[in-house]
């Protein structure tokens, strides 16, 4: 299973989002010294979840990181850009 699919599955189960966009940006970093060259190392995630209501941005990021901790520990994901919103918040 690809890293993107594992991310999607774990985030869907843990945070029950009403919107989840995952963009693989690894090709933008190909050839960089710290890039592992796997084609699945850099991701941008937009997630809208009712579970984020009343939670600070740092708290939301911790929730995401906790949900995908195994993926982050494995070293395959080098960079993860997060945009986390509760329903009704303006998306930037």
Interior angle at CA 83, CA 50 and CA 75, nearest 5: 110
Strand order of the β-sheet with 79-85 is 19-24, 42-48, 79-85
Average pLDDT over residues 31-58: 81
Domain ranges of the chain: 1-36+58-92
* Stated pTM of the model: 0.84
Q: Which CATH superfamily is domain 1-36+58-92 in?
A: BolA-like (3.30.300.90)
Instruction: Tell me the pLDDT of the chain averaged across its residues.
Output: 87
- Rg over alpha carbons for the chain, rounded to the nearest Å, is 13
Residue 17 pLDDT > 70, yes or no?
Answer: yes
């Amino acid at each position: 299973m690809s890293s993107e699919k594992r991310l999607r599955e774990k985030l869907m189960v843990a945070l029950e989002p009403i919107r989840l966009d995952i963009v693989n940006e690894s090709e933008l970093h190909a050839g960089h010294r710290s890039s592992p060259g796997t084609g699945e190392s850099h991701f941008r995630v937009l997630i809208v979840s009712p579970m984020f209501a009343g939670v600070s941005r740092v708290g939301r990021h911790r929730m995401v990181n906790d949900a995908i901790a195994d993926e982050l520990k494995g070293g395959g994901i080098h960079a993860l850009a997060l945009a986390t919103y509760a329903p009704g918040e303006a998306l930037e």
